[in-house]
Chains A and B, each alone.
Chain A
Amino acid sequence: MKPNLLLAVLLFVAYSFAQTTEVISLDYQQLQPLLHQNSNTVQVVNFWATWCAPCIKELPYFEELNKLEGVEVLLVSLDFPKHKQKRLIPFVEKHKLQSKVVHLDDNDENYWINEINTTWSGGLPATLIYTQNRRGFYEQSFTKEELFQEVKSYF
């Protein structure tokens, strides 16, 4: 192979890697530490899915929240595993989501819904906000004002 062709191939490979959005899939055991981080920032964990209209509506508010100093947002997708490649990853790319996105792939919902919060009935959207000394769970949709107000109360 000619050196310049090799370079072109290498560049192409590097370029395609740069374009690939990775969303890792976790079971609950793997997700659990991300819901209990010992951090000085306010942790905001939003449970959502690409098919959930009220989730998509409030997603930009979480993206804005993620830009705030002292706030870290984690978006936990509950898309069906078979839709991860076809729907979730294209959605993350299209909307250029800046918050960390993970995919929760764990069938035993009856177990982990209660582990995450006993008041959660399982409806989406739902949001967990926590610091080292306070945790709150919200099975509801937020307006931008409500969300920012609620998060600020954790500072």
Chain B
Amino acid sequence: MKTILFAFSLLFLSTPTDLVTENGYSIGDIATDFSLPNVDGEMVSLADFEDAKGFIVIFTCNTCPYSIANEDRIIALDNKYKEKGYPVIAINPNDPAAAKGEAMSDMKQRSLDKGFTFPYLQDVGQQVYPQYGATKTPHVFVLQKAGDDNIVRYIGAIDDSSRNPKKVKKRYIEQAVDALLIGKSPSTTTTKAIGCSIKTL
């Protein structure tokens, strides 16, 4: 009986986040495609964007203050780079059962209120974010198309001042995508910023 109790307590002690933090993509890896529901009810895959040269994949959510502080910057990125071939694809990795305000209905409302110009997908079953190695919101992955593959070219923050858009000096994503658009490798490929842990049961 004691061993059973012990085994049981071990089960509860292990946190689910431990399983995913060590994995995920490095620069140069091939990113997986997915098929996830968008706020407009359609399913979205990277393969749907035939004319894209790549993607700005952003794991973000409804309630994290760091995500909210970056919403306008994410919209601006999509407005600037969609027509150049790098649309924003936003994915909410949070399990709505583990966090209030993260259900598809909440996502639809947020998308409407803010006027999102990009797909805002739900990572149903939390299958996609661990493959990418996202650990927080917001967490960005810039992908470049190479034939049927999508190569990871940049991982990290949107810019160097996540809390205060007025103090931005380095626009990391813009620098990365601008380099890719002229056939160069981004000079900065990985950066960090504070974010909210991804909520799972």
Contacts and interface: CB of A to CB of B under 8 A. Distances in A.
Interface string B70-102: 000000000000000000000000000001000
Nearest to A139: B21
Interface stretch (A33-41, A88-96, A114-122): A114-122
Contacts of B194: 78, 109, 113, 122-124
A123 B197 contact: yes
A12 interface: no
A123 B65 contact: no
Given A107-B160, A107-B163, A121 B192 contact: yes
Interface string B1-20: 00000000100110101100
Contacts of A108: 160-161
A108 B162 CA distance: 9
B195 interface: yes
B164 interface: yes
Contacts, number: 82
A114 B188 CA distance: 15
Contact of A114 (B163, B192, B198): B192
B195 to A, nearest CB: 5
A55 to B, nearest CB: 9
Contacts of B157: 109-110, 122
A143 interface: yes
A123 B135 contact: yes
A54 B201 CA distance: 12
Interface in A106-143: 107-110, 113-114, 120-125, 139-141, 143
8 contacts: A52-B196, A81-B163, A110-B192, A120-B192, A122-B194, A123-B136, A124-B195, A140-B15
Interface of B: 9, 12-13, 15, 17-18, 21, 64-65, 69, 99, 135-136, 139, 156-157, 160-164, 167, 191-199
Interface of A: 49, 51-54, 78, 80-81, 107-110, 113-114, 120-125, 139-141, 143, 145-146
